[in-house]
Each structure stands twice: as C-alpha cells, then as structure tokens.
Amino acid sequence: MSKIAVIGSNMVDLITYIDRMPAQGETLEAPGFALGCGGKGANQAVAAAKLGADVLMLTKVGDDMFADNTLANFQRFGIDTRYVQRVPGVSSGVAPIFVQADSHNSILIVKGANAHLVPADLDAAEQALRECSLIVLQLEINVETVYHAIEFGREHNIPVLLNPAPALSGLSREHLAHLDFLVPNESELALITGQVVDSPESAHNAALKLVASGIRHVIVTLGQQGALYVGEEGEFQIPGLSVAARDTTGAGDAFIGCFIHHWSRDRDIRAAMTQAVAYSACSVTGLGTQTSYPDATAFAEFQRRLDA
C-alpha cells in the first residue's frame, strides 16, 4: 500500500458550544465544552488513517501535558510518528473554538510548537518521505517549510497537495504553480486569486485562473454545495448532501483526509471527491473534529443509510 506523508500541524482543540459570542466585558454561560485532538494536519492524517490509509506524520508537539496525548492519539490510529518531535520550552499548538447552535464555528489558533517545524526537519526525514506517494500540506506551519515540501515533492516526483488553510495572503505564485493539487474553500480561493468568489460560477472562474498558472488540479470545497473540480481532467461538480449538521468544525479536513485516502489508492479524482463529499457530510452530523470522523465501517453504514 502506498504511504501518505502529512506535513503539518497538530492542535489541542478547546471547543466551547455557545448560544452566542459574549460582548466585550460580558461574562456569559455556555452550554457545553469538549477537549479534543485537532489541527488541520493532524485531522487530515487521522481521517485518512481511520479509513485505512498508511500515514506518515511530520509535526512538532510542545513541552507540556498535551504532547503525550497527541502522540498517543496518532499511534492509536496507526500513524507513523517517527518524525513527530517535541520542542523544549514551547507550548503545544492550541485552538480555542466556538461552535454556535446553528453548527457554525469560529476558531483561534496558537501555533506553538507547530511554528518550529522547519525545512531541515524535512531533510532529516528525507528517506521516509521518499517512500511516500503523496505529500499533503496546510498553512498552520511556517510557510517556508511548506515551500520546501513543495520543492521536495517536485524534485523527487512525489505529487503534492496543498490545502491553503487557514487563508494566508501573499503566497508565492512560483511555488503554487508546482502543485499537483490545490484544495481551497471559497474564501481561501478568493484570497489567493484576488477575485470575488461567492458562487460555484465565480469559484469556477477563479479556479481556471489557477490552472492556467500551472496547478494541475484545483478542487474547491463548497460546503453544502459539494465540491468543484477544474484541471487536467476537465471540469465537474460533485453535488453536496443534505444532512442535519451539528458541528461543522473540521469538515474541510474530513474532505481532504478522505480524498487523499481514495486518490492514493485508486488515482480516480472524481470517485475520490464523491467519497470525500459524503465523508465530510457525515462528519458534520457529529460533534468535535477528529471525534466526528467515522472509520471505514461507520462510513459505509452512513452511506447505506443515505442510499436507503
């Protein structure tokens, strides 16, 4: 089986379920709280691993009580943690998250140890990375490390997928042009292209611009409207699924985790996107981030219920 390398963040999610955000100076009671393993990189790695993928994780944890739990969590899902390092004197990444009753969320991130993942860490893992058939990146680590990984993939002929989240302005067009896959949501796509993206049509136009710049495959996640593909294989949209959403946190990561698992296995983009739209829809019916990601058995059961 081919191995997937996820080079990215891990966070401790501090999820507060709220009726509304407090005003400045106001203290407000909230109905619930959950502590969970998160971070966009870790979420994508765990989603893929839960579905059966063989995953290598490159990330850094802090010098605190969260680090052991994060490592144990990766290991629980069979993720290769040989290159997960601890950073002395630095906190782990944390993400205070506020989820409203309508399922939508607001997230703060403190990168902590994630900011210490540097290009030299990739070089130290060169042999293990060369055995991987896909490199997966996000933007919760140092952007120079992301660029280094893109160039590493290019040099060694390993496909690279970037999820440009959280949205970051001023990304290097030269590096982006070397990507095999770019998987933004609408706001990330708008920031990268400088175009207004507020509908599948405008997302299509913006994606075309990126494909013209050299990116082979652009996949835009559209929330309830599914996902859009523009690239070497043409143009198509996978429609969204209507589900009762409870918590949308980490739905984009669920999409990517499922997509990378299926694409690495079968190299069929349309089929992988179809699975990923369904997996992401399933994830929003549960609470939390990784806790809402089904394993292969639970996901098959969710799909059977959809078809019934």
Binding-site residue ranges: 11-13, 39-43, 140, 185, 221-226, 247, 249, 252-253, 283, 286, 288, 292
Phi/psi-derived region of residue 74, left when phi > 0, alpha when psi is between -120 and 50, beta in every other case: alpha
Instruction: Give the residue at shortest CB distance from ligand RIB.
Output: 38
Q: Do β-strands 32-38 and 227-231 pair in parallel, antiparallel, or remain unpaired? A: unpaired
**Residue 184 binding ligand RIB, by CB under 6 A:** no
**Residue 247 binding ligand RIB, by CB under 6 A:** no
One residue of 4, 5, 7, 40 binding ligand RIB per CB under 6 A: 40
Give the x/- contact pattern for ligand RIB in 101-140, rule: CB under 6 A. ------x-x------------------------------x
Dist. CA 217–CA 51, nearest whole Å: 23
**Residue 39 binding ligand RIB, by CB under 6 A:** yes
DSSP 45: H
One residue of 250, 279, 281, 282 binding ligand RIB per CB under 6 A: 250
Mark whether 198 is an active-site residue: no
Strands of 227-231's sheet in order across = 84-86, 54-61, 3-7, 132-137, 160-162, 181-182, 217-221, 227-231, 234-238
The minimum distance between CB 292 and ligand RIB, in angstroms, equals 10
- Which of 19, 63, 253, 307 does the annotation list as catalytic? 253
**Residue 43 binding ligand RIB, by CB under 6 A:** yes
What DSSP letter does each residue of 149-169 carry, written as one string?
A: HHHHHHHTT--EEE---S--S
Residue positions annotated with a catalytic role = 253
